[in-house]
Structure 1
Amino acid sequence: METVTTPSRFELVGRAAELGKLLRANALAAEQQRRLTDETIAALASSGLLRMRVPQRYGGYESDMRTVAEVVAELARGDGSTGWTAAVWLISSWMTGLFPDAVRDEVFADPDVRIAGILSPSAMAVPVDGGYQVNGKWSFNTGAQHSGWNVNAAVRPTPDGQYEPIMVLLPMSDLQVVDDWHTVGMRGSGSVSTVAENVFVPAERVVPMGPVIVGAHPLQQNPAALMWRAPFMPIACTTVGSVAYGLAVAAKDAFLERLPGRKITYTDYAEQSAAPLTHLQVAGATVRVDEAGFHIFRAADTIDAKAAAGDAWTLEERARARLDLGAVCLRAKETADVLADASGGSSLHTDVPIQRIERDIKALNLHAIMHPDTNFELYGRLACGLPPNTQYI
């Protein structure tokens, strides 16, 4: 097993920033082919950034949440689809770290392995001798075409006639890929569907989802591993929320890059930069970007602080992670809306980044787990003394 020295946060964020120019250059091609380019995949692999959620015993970094958030945000600043795909791979690697040793030994034999994953339990796992027979379809399966494994949610029957959510780990070679990713946002993420037809999954590649949701990880035996000292949802929410924050920063970058020399047609302003309206738009967008950063980094720092102290999570704290996710998505959308509206008719061209950034942010806001109103309602229920209306908290 490979053991490496964990790079510092500064070094890892620097690596992500260095990829920015390449990611921006490849973003349009990724949109056109509806998946990341081979050059982008190779650059991500050689950067080592996908090792951040791989156990150290296999050559991973076990990076803290703040580092992951800053790296993912920087990748999304370069290209939203790349940031999102990397976020999914990092979450899925974290989840795979909860499986038994024999499974981890197999999957993480390559510490740069890419693992896609789906949280929605849209498959059935029927007990058979030695494991389960799985049938089902998982949509929005980001990065599956560039992955070696898929860790997906399913349900299995329980003795009382009910169903229990589980995670099943499958090699991509066991699954059919349905190339159905035809969208207006996050087009480059390759979030296709995968199908399991009578796929046998050994019992050791099945983990109950209930304990993972609440932060109980019985198979993660290393007490020094801070990375798993948190419930799943705050970790997942903070990881994907970092994409929204990075895109908000990207929207401001893209607007200011095009600003010099631009005019406001049918007005007396020789320069758009001279108009008071532009000053208000840029200042308002900056406030929204800063607020998005506050929420995502508060969530990340909470995870790291509680992990270091070994403190248990309250239900309110878990709901607040969902609140922070909703807030960062909303502020990112507001940022893009303001700056896209200020970018003029020429910004409709596909080679102008602001229109792609706006579409990517809208796509994130429509994601079931990221939708601002859904997250705000959940937190508000608890604040008003009601129980949560979801187990995903």
Structure 2
Amino acid sequence: MTGMLLAPRTTSDTFVSAARAAGVPAGRHAARADRERRLSADVVEALVEAGFSRALVPARHGGEATDFATLTEAVAAVGEGCASAAWIGSLLAYTARFAAYLPAEAQAEIWADGPDSRLVSSLVSTAATARATDSGWHLSGTWTYASGVEFSDWALVMAMVPGADEKPQARFFAVPRSAYRIEETWDTVGMRATGSHTLLVDEEFVPTHRTCLMDDMFAGRGAVSDELRHSQPTFAVNGLTFAAPILGAARGALKLSARALAEKTARGNEPSETQRIAHARAAGEIDAAGLLLTRAAQSVDRARATDDVLVRNRRDCALATQLLVGAVDTLFRGGGTRSQSASDPLQRIWRDVNSAASHMVLQFEPAALAFTRGPLDAARAEKSS
């Protein structure tokens, strides 16, 4: 636990400003974090102090009244300095939103020392078992891609259990840091500093009150909190979780490109028209992606997502990601051999953006199929009536 109680924040500008301030040390340490495959303790503390860990915590436990649009902009602000730090900041916030679906007793345990507990989660397990008892479950398993696990206080992990009709159903389990080990397995081309290592649990007893059904969480029902942000279906908001860091990284790449063009001009070496056009196109694509993500966030800030909003948000987050990848690719190519130097920050951003965009939530094809399913089903129903 951090044991840190922070002064309450009441405005979106304050949070975004704090996030931008956290992005300064994140950017300063980004190259080192990439080499060492972990964020420094100072950067993690800066993210906590900025308010990411408490952003979506229920108000009854000291959480902030942060809306999704503000959180998206705050994550992007950090991402301008370091995509991995932004990824962790985003997951600190959104994993706490998951914990709002746990029973009240579990929430009281998780946030007993204040709203800044550092939560991580993993849905990915090749070997997870949960044996039921009268008062809970005996949990064992191995969960991969647990971003930020090295500095976590609690973990939310998923295992399949028999349902009422004996059909398998997914259940989330909350386990404290003392209950799991970490195996360092994350060694990738991009997003290296997220520390998305493997989490291991061996025959840990998890009381019933520290569990909830994944279907309830994904559907946005059953949360103890009655706040709107805790009643949104997961697919209406989880694209924002992973697209916002990419948005910030792309903005950072654009600033590097603009600086390079300005420096060339100052030296009397005018950029070519091709370079200027490429920069303008990338800037437009990044702006367009930002507008898509802002609309998605604002839609779930206003009201509970309908099915139409859910599939549109899923589509828009995936499409925004494609635009951002294309923009960064353009800027990277435009940088020539300079950008390909191992010491140049643009190549790190290029690796990070392409790596982050591979997340399954951000794939356009399934999002597009989900978006078109409703109208096509309606057309089929009309034809058969």
TM-score over 0.5 for the pair: yes
Q: 1:272 to 1:381 in 2, by over 3 A?
A: farther
- State the partner residue of 2:323: 331
Indicate which of 152, 163, 169 corresponds to 1:164.
Answer: 169
Partner of residue 294 from structure 2, selected from 266, 282, 297: 297
Q: CA deviation at 1:386?
A: 8.2
Is 1:114 the counterpart of 2:118 in the alignment? yes
The equivalent of 1:266 in structure 2 is: none
Give, in whole Å, the separation in 2 of the partners of 1:111 and 1:151.
16
**1:47 equivalent among 37, 46, 50:** 50
2:26 is matched with 23
Deviation at 1:86, TM superposition (A): 1.0
- Residue by residue over 1:135-158, the C-alpha shift from the partner in whole angstroms, topping out at 9 and shown as x without a partner, is 222111100001111012221112
Unaligned stretches of 5+ in structure 1?
Answer: 264-268, 308-312, 388-393
Tell me if 1:145 matches 2:143: no
Q: Percent identity?
A: 25
Query: Is contact 1:34-1:187 (8 Å) kept?
Result: yes
**C-alpha deviation, 1:242, in angstroms:** 1.2
Judge conservation of contact 1:68–1:239 (CA < 8 Å) in 2: no
Superposed displacement of residue 4, structure 1? 6.2
| Cα distance, 1:353 vs structure 2 | 1.3
Residue 234 (structure 1) aligns with: 236
Query: Residue 197 of structure 1: SS of its match in structure 2?
Result: strand
Query: TM-score scaled by structure 1?
Result: 0.89
Inter-CA distance 5–24: structure 2 relative to 1 (3 Å threshold): closer
Residue by residue over 1:28-60, the C-alpha shift from the partner in whole angstroms, topping out at 9 and shown as x without a partner, is 111111111111112222223321112222222
Spell out, residue by residue over 1:348-377, the C-alpha distance to the aligned partner (whole angstroms, 9 max, x if none). Answer: 223311111111111122111112233223
Counterparts in 2 of 1:1-393, with a 5 A limit? 5-109=8-112, 110-120=114-124, 122=126, 123-220=128-225, 223=226, 225-262=227-264, 271-273=269-271, 275-307=272-304, 313-385=305-377
Q: 1:127 Cα deviation (Å)?
A: 0.8
CA distance in 2 between partners of 1:35 and 1:200 (Å): 30
Work out whether residues 75 and 82 of structure 1, in 8 Å CA contact, stay in contact via their aligned partners in 2.
yes
Query: By how many angstroms is 1:5 displaced?
Result: 4.0
Structure 1 CA distance, aligned partners of 2:185 and 2:85?
Answer: 19
CA distance in 2, matches of 1:46, 1:3: 7
Cα distance, 1:284–1:10 mapped onto 2, change above 3 Å: same
CA RMSD of aligned residues (A): 2.1
Give the whole-Å Cα distance in 2 for the aligned partners of 1:201 and 1:231.
26
Number of equivalences: 372
TM-score calculated relative to the size of structure 2: 0.91
User: CA offset at residue 125 of structure 1?
Assistant: 1.9
Aligned equivalents of 2:251 and 2:375: distance in 1? 31
Question: Per the alignment, do residues 3 and 148 of structure 1 end up closer, same or farther by CA in structure 2, a change over 3 Å counting?
Answer: closer
CA contact (8 A) 2:125 2:142 kept: no
CA distance in 2, matches of 1:355, 1:377: 33
Change (3 A) 1:383 1:330: farther
